[in-house]
Chain A
């Protein structure tokens, strides 16, 4: 087993072991962090590996969340199929957005993704009778059952979050080390050169968008199921920025960076809550600090200094 593989499997094992020793408060936090880290990992596939900066990833998270939650609320679909439906909805949305947005590059791409995401957010508000708009809705505990497990139980919730996290972590690990992943990195470094070498860069970028959107959708659907809430704030601009923040802090283009970034940011917010209610202030300061002084993020610096083998 290579160093890189053992590191990632070790992280999963560590997270598995932690559930037996952590106090209840941090146990709950970590379950939430793992689901949010999946969201950040999805974002990282596009931003960190392919070099596509999106400002609208909340739309994929929300597509997963509402794609799962609405059928449960309206037609009393059971949790398993609803989860799959949410992932599917996010994947299809990503395909559509990718087909349109990838016709643009650079600043225009960021704004197009921002606008699509904003349109979805406003649509959720507009269809207030169906989606309950701003307030969102709660999924009743009785409906949150999957394969005979009660997802609202803290222990099972932790394991469910860990399973999703582990699957996505290993999937991204495999992807970025595969030939396809190498092409994505080549596109990030120099798209013209990759095209000149004969790679269909457009198709690869579309693949990155769809994979990224699907992972984010899975995170959204899981978040709704595990924590029982579906709300419009998960579709709003600040939630898109949060993914960017997690990845920038943890290290864009590293497999475990998004998890590290989510972990740090979550607790930074938690700790700053004691000082001020204005919790986005920390996010703002960290964003400016990162762009000014630490572009590579935590894992990026570690890779540069000590561990060049880090994927």
Chain B
């Protein structure tokens, strides 16, 4: 393939990656923003989303679309509930102390991962996409006869991948509406701004925290359900989303949802593009070093405002 079609392909792949990453990182960012908790187990909630999606789809059987739609609803709900339970059992008892919650969520990471290994097993398992038409993409070249369009071999995407992008945009808009336009969003933002005052105004901060932790995990699970027909469910699949979400949340500015979305698109796209042209490992090395440098020299993130 020539450079042009290759680049288009890389951008398309990057777009799918960026969509899923946006959802996952939004979950992490929300939890950090409202609760000031760095949830290291976030990647495992992502993984659980994919594993539950496989579980739902394979028990229902029948048409792929039925199983997929069921998974889209059930998996995030289950993961969200599990997160609420772990918040009540562990994080609440630590008074949300930053250092201790990090250590505890590291523990949760291993427990979830290893229990999945013991039950789900070490194999990668696929979920069938509900629809999957191949869509060829035209490319042009200048010949003696003028501008000519043709379909280069290998330059294509699938209808399902486009659906992933659309679904992520919808979910993102939904979250925005929840945060900016609903009463619940007001309560969440109030808790984020000033926990003590929120408490004084009768906001049940503990329940808000449990809800936010569940919502954050459910967002990660939703991203995983969307991506599982493209990739496969595997007990170690939470590792990369965790690292990338961290990168995104930090570059976007800790706790800023708008910055998170911008950074997710930037990182998702550039990770996709660098991975196609160079090596995925190189892309990750550059991203991790970038994050470290951003935290050292611009702790408010690239898109965040400087604190007064």
Of A112, A125, A279, the residue contacting B295 (CB under 8 A) is A112
Of A107, A122, A283, the residue contacting B38 (CB under 8 A) is A107
Q: Which of B245-294 contact A (CB under 8 A)?
A: 246, 250, 279, 281-282, 284-285, 288-289, 291-293
Q: Which of A104-161 contact B (CB under 8 A)?
A: 104, 106-108, 110-112, 114-116, 118-119, 122-123, 125-126
CA distance A280 to B109 in the complex (A): 10
- B290, chain A: closest CB distance, angstroms: 9
Whether A278 and B98, one on each chain, are in contact in the complex, defined by CB atoms closer than 8 angstroms, is: no
Q: Check: B296 CB closer than 8 A to any chain A CB.
A: yes
Of A110, A276, A289, the residue contacting B102 (CB under 8 A) is A110
Of A101, A115, A280, the residue contacting B114 (CB under 8 A) is A280
Of A53, A55, A107, A119, the residue contacting B292 (CB under 8 A) is A119
Whether A53 and B102, one on each chain, are in contact in the complex, defined by CB atoms closer than 8 angstroms, is: yes
CA distance A248 to B102 in the complex (A): 13
CA distance A285 to B118 in the complex (A): 15
Of A55, A110, A292, the residue contacting B104 (CB under 8 A) is A292
- A278, chain B: closest CB distance, angstroms: 4
Q: Check: A5 CB closer than 8 A to any chain B CB.
A: no
Q: Check: A100 CB closer than 8 A to any chain B CB.
A: yes
Known: A291-B94, A292-B90. A122 touches B288 (CB 8 A): yes
Q: Check: B2 CB closer than 8 A to any chain A CB.
A: no
Q: Check: B100 CB closer than 8 A to any chain A CB.
A: yes
Q: Check: A31 CB closer than 8 A to any chain B CB.
A: no
Q: Check: B177 CB closer than 8 A to any chain A CB.
A: no
Chain A residues positioned under 8 Å from B291 (CB to CB): 111, 115
Chain B residues positioned under 8 Å from A281 (CB to CB): 110-111, 114-115, 118
Whether A53 and B99, one on each chain, are in contact in the complex, defined by CB atoms closer than 8 angstroms, is: yes
Return the CB mask of B14-50 against A: 1 if under 8 Å, else 0.
0000000000000000000000001000000000000
Chain A residues positioned under 8 Å from B102 (CB to CB): 53, 55, 107, 110
Q: Check: A219 CB closer than 8 A to any chain B CB.
A: no
CA distance A295 to B95 in the complex (A): 14
CA distance A244 to B299 in the complex (A): 25
Return the CB mask of A258-269 against B: 1 if under 8 Å, else 0.
000000000000
Return the CB mask of B86-100 against A: 1 if under 8 Å, else 0.
000010011000111
Q: Check: A286 CB closer than 8 A to any chain B CB.
A: yes
Whether A278 and B115, one on each chain, are in contact in the complex, defined by CB atoms closer than 8 angstroms, is: yes
Q: Check: B65 CB closer than 8 A to any chain A CB.
A: no
Q: Check: A103 CB closer than 8 A to any chain B CB.
A: yes
Chain A residues positioned under 8 Å from B295 (CB to CB): 104, 108, 111-112, 115
Nearest opposing residue in chain B for A110, CB measure: B102
Whether A118 and B104, one on each chain, are in contact in the complex, defined by CB atoms closer than 8 angstroms, is: no
Of B93, B99, B285, B297, the residue contacting A119 (CB under 8 A) is B285
Of B107, B297, B299, the residue contacting A286 (CB under 8 A) is B107
Q: Check: A77 CB closer than 8 A to any chain B CB.
A: no
Whether A287 and B110, one on each chain, are in contact in the complex, defined by CB atoms closer than 8 angstroms, is: yes
Q: Which of B64-113 contact A (CB under 8 A)?
A: 90, 93-94, 98-100, 102-104, 106-113
Nearest opposing residue in chain B for A102, CB measure: B296
CA distance A55 to B105 in the complex (A): 13
Of B100, B115, B118, B288, the residue contacting A118 (CB under 8 A) is B288
- B36, chain A: closest CB distance, angstroms: 8
Whether A284 and B250, one on each chain, are in contact in the complex, defined by CB atoms closer than 8 angstroms, is: no
Chain A residues positioned under 8 Å from B114 (CB to CB): 276, 278-281, 284
Q: Check: A175 CB closer than 8 A to any chain B CB.
A: no
Return the CB mask of A159-172 against B: 1 if under 8 Å, else 0.
00000000000000
- B213, chain A: closest CB distance, angstroms: 15
Q: Check: A1 CB closer than 8 A to any chain B CB.
A: no
CA distance A241 to B103 in the complex (A): 9
Known: A126-B281, A276-B118. A288 touches B250 (CB 8 A): no
- A218, chain B: closest CB distance, angstroms: 25
Q: Check: B243 CB closer than 8 A to any chain A CB.
A: yes
- B30, chain A: closest CB distance, angstroms: 16
Q: Check: B117 CB closer than 8 A to any chain A CB.
A: yes
Chain A residues positioned under 8 Å from B93 (CB to CB): 292
Whether B250 and A111, one on each chain, are in contact in the complex, defined by CB atoms closer than 8 angstroms, is: yes
Whether B98 and A106, one on each chain, are in contact in the complex, defined by CB atoms closer than 8 angstroms, is: yes
Whether A295 and B118, one on each chain, are in contact in the complex, defined by CB atoms closer than 8 angstroms, is: no
Chain B residues positioned under 8 Å from A285 (CB to CB): 107, 111
Chain B residues positioned under 8 Å from A53 (CB to CB): 99, 102
Whether B103 and A287, one on each chain, are in contact in the complex, defined by CB atoms closer than 8 angstroms, is: yes
Could you say which of A106, A114, A278, A286 has the most chain B C-beta atoms within 10 Å of its C-beta? A278
Whether B103 and A248, one on each chain, are in contact in the complex, defined by CB atoms closer than 8 angstroms, is: yes
Chain A residues positioned under 8 Å from B115 (CB to CB): 278, 281
8 smallest CB-CB distances across A and B, nearest first, come from A284-B110, A287-B107, A278-B114, A281-B114, A288-B107, A284-B111, A115-B292, A119-B288
| 17 A-B contact pairs sorted by A residue (CB < 8 Å) | A100-B296, A101-B296, A104-B299, A108-B295, A111-B291, A111-B295, A118-B288, A277-B117, A278-B114, A278-B118, A281-B110, A284-B110, A284-B113, A287-B103, A287-B110, A288-B90, A292-B94
Q: A101-B292, A106-B98, A125-B281 are in contact. List 12 more A-B contacts (CB 8 A).
A: A53-B102, A100-B293, A103-B297, A104-B299, A111-B250, A114-B246, A244-B106, A278-B115, A278-B117, A288-B104, A291-B100, A291-B107
Interface residues of A (CB under 8 A from B): 53, 55, 100-101, 103-104, 106-108, 110-112, 114-116, 118-119, 122-123, 125-126, 241, 244, 248, 276-281, 283-292, 295
